[in-house]
């Protein structure tokens, strides 16, 4: 079963690595970089390997059974 998490942001977008930390699915930036570079994170169903990839409200990031939906704060 996939856990659903909503993360509100104030800006137009957030970097993928920052989002994973904010959602609490990784403990720190090094871990975020490792899981992203290993191809374990996907944005709207497509594997994303760039830590700095911009994620915008309405998009969903999936990592290790957690679906993170970005919303507007």
Q: What is the pLDDT along the chain (73 residues), one digit of tens a residue?
A: 889 999 999 999 999 999 999 999 999 999 999 999 999 999 999 999 999 999 999 999 999 999 999 999 9
68 and 48 Cβ atoms separated by less than 8 Å: no
The angle that helices 16-23 and 29-37 make with each other, rounded to 10 degrees, is 120
What span, in angstroms and rounded, lies between the C-alpha atoms of 65 and 73? 24
In the chain, what are the domains?
3-72 (3.10.290.10)
pTM: 0.94
Unique residue bearing structure tokens 């993170």: 68
State both tokens at 14. Answer: 């957030």
Q: What is the pLDDT of residue 2?
A: 86
């Amino acid at each position: 079963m996939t856990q659903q998490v909503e993360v509100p942001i104030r800006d137009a977008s957030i970097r993928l690595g920052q989002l994973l930390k904010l959602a609490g699915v990784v403990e720190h930036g090094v871990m975020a970089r490792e899981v992203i570079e290993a191809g374990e994170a996907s944005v709207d169903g497509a594997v994303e390997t760039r830590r700095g990839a911009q994620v915008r409200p309405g998009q969903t990031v999936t990592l290790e059974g957690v679906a993170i939906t970005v919303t507007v704060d």
